[in-house]
């Protein structure tokens, strides 16, 4: 019996179990696809597409001081921290589908809608540029309420929590990027009571 795996299924397995899971699929079993057969996504040149840095340094040399305090983008608790498992480039905050995801700080929306190629598995995303090399990213949204170029204020709703892309349940994936490199969001956020 031959089992076929879709690209989406293989991506989900990779996201949950890491590269080791693919060792269970024998080479030459017919599950391979040529790269040229994979679907492609065309993105307007104006969008800031950034390859994900696989090292995900928690602290980078030359990183700006954390004089900016961001607000929590959702009221839930952290269900998956930065780093650790599979070099997770952000934090996951639990929540119910439809709950608001809000801007962590004032800025300009530079990405809104279905995630482009550089952000595979993120589903609907919003990225806000806060200036000075600081940006925040909000992923797996069920709905996007802002548009590229729109100015947003801290606390303004950007969209709604969901589970688009590769997600095991509704949550908000939140990243803080300094000079396009993911960094641990927690030090940028105020302590919770």
- Verify that 90 and 183 share a domain, yes or no: yes
Lowest mean pLDDT among 13-17, 45-49, 84-88, 178-182: 45-49
**Domain contains 69:** no
Is 116 a member of any domain?
A: yes
Do 181 and 106 lie in one domain? The reply is yes
Rounded to whole angstroms, how far apart are CA atoms 137 and 115? 11
Q: Are residues 91 and 168 in the same domain?
A: yes
pLDDT above 90 for 41: no
Distance CA 83, CA 186 (A): 12
Distance between CA atoms of 72 and 185, rounded to whole angstroms?
Answer: 10
Of residues 158 and 118, the one with the higher pLDDT is 158
Which residue shows structure tokens 């709950």?
99
Domain assignment present for residue 102? The answer is: yes
Residues 118-130 as b or e (16 or more Cβ within 10 Å = b): ebebbbbbbbbbb
Whether the predicted pLDDT of 52 surpasses 80: no
State the number of CA atoms in the 13 A half-sphere of 193 facing the CB. 0
Give the closest residue to 149 by CA, choosing from 108, 93, 184, 188: 108
If asked whether residues 112 and 25 sit together in one domain, one would say no
pTM: 0.67
Average pLDDT in the 47-60 region? 37
Q: What is the pLDDT of residues 124-171, one digit of tens each?
A: 999 999 999 999 999 999 999 999 999 999 999 999 999 999 998 999
> Is residue 135 situated within a structural domain?
yes
**Does residue 91 sit in the same domain as residue 33?**
no
**Mind listing the pLDDT tens digit for each residue in 29-38?**
343 333 333 3
Residue range 172-185, pLDDT digits in tens: 999 999 999 999 99
Say whether pLDDT at 101 is over 50. Answer: yes
Residues 23, 109, single domain; the answer is: no
Residues 108, 163 share a domain: yes
Q: In terms of residue numbers, what domain contains 92?
A: 78-188
Question: How many domains does the structure of the chain reveal?
Answer: 2
Clarify whether residues 33 and 83 are in a common domain. no
Q: Within this chain, do residues 102 and 181 fall inside the same structural domain, yes or no?
A: yes
- What is the SS3 assignment for 170? coil
CA distance 45 to 48: 8
Asked whether residue 60 is domain-assigned, the answer is no
Is there a domain that residue 64 lies in? no
The answer to whether 65 touches 183, Cβ cutoff 8 Å, is no
CA distance linking residue 15 with residue 102, whole number of Å: 25
Give the model's pLDDT for residue 48.
38
Statement to judge: residues 92 and 160 lie in one domain: yes
Any domain includes 51:
no
Give the mean pLDDT of the chain: 74
Token digits of residue 50? 């950034």
Which residue bears the tokens 């089992």? 3
Q: Are residues 27 and 109 part of one domain?
A: no
Token pair belonging to 78: 């952290």
One domain for residues 91 and 170: yes
Nearest to residue 85, comparing CAs of 14, 11, 188, 9? Answer: 14
CA–CA dist 110, 147 (Å, integer) = 8
CATH of the domain at 112: 2.70.70.10
């Amino acid at each position: 019996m031959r089992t076929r795996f879709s690209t989406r299924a293989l991506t989900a397995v990779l996201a949950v179990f890491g590269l080791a899971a693919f060792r269970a699929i024998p080479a030459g079993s017919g599950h391979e696809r040529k790269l040229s057969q994979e679907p492609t996504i065309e993105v307007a040149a104006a969008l800031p597409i950034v390859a994900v840095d696989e090292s995900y340094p928690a602290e980078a040399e030359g990183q700006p001081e954390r004089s900016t305090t961001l607000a929590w983008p959702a009221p839930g608790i952290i269900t998956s921290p930065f780093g650790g498992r599979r070099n997770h480039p952000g934090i996951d905050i639990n929540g119910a589908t439809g709950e608001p995801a809000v801007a962590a700080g004032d800025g300009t929306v530079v990405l809104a809608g279905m995630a482009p190629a550089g952000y595979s598995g993120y589903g609907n995303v919003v990225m806000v540029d806060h200036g000075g090399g600081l940006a925040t990213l909000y992923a797996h949204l069920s709905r996007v309420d802002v548009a590229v170029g729109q100015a947003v204020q801290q606390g303004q709703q950007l969209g709604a929590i969901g589970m688009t892309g590769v997600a095991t349940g509704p949550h908000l994936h939140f990243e803080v990027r300094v000079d396009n490199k993911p960094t641990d969001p927690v030090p940028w956020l105020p302590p919770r009571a």
